[in-house]
Structure 1
Amino acid sequence: MLLTYEVALKNGLIKAREKVVDTVKDFFTDENGDTNMISIILVLVIVIALAALFRKNIAAMVSAMWESISEKFSGASGTDAEINTNFS
Structure 2
Amino acid sequence: MYFMGDVILPPGEKIRRIRTFLGAKQEDIAGDKITRNLISYIENGKTRLMRSTAEIIAENLIRLSEAQKNPIHISVDYLMETEMEQAN
| Shorter-normalised TM range | under 0.3
Greater relative contact order (CA < 8 Å, ≥ 6 in sequence) = 2
Flag the structure with higher helix content: 1
Larger Rg: 1
- Output the TM-score relative to the length of structure 2: 0.23
- Output the TM-score relative to the length of structure 1: 0.23
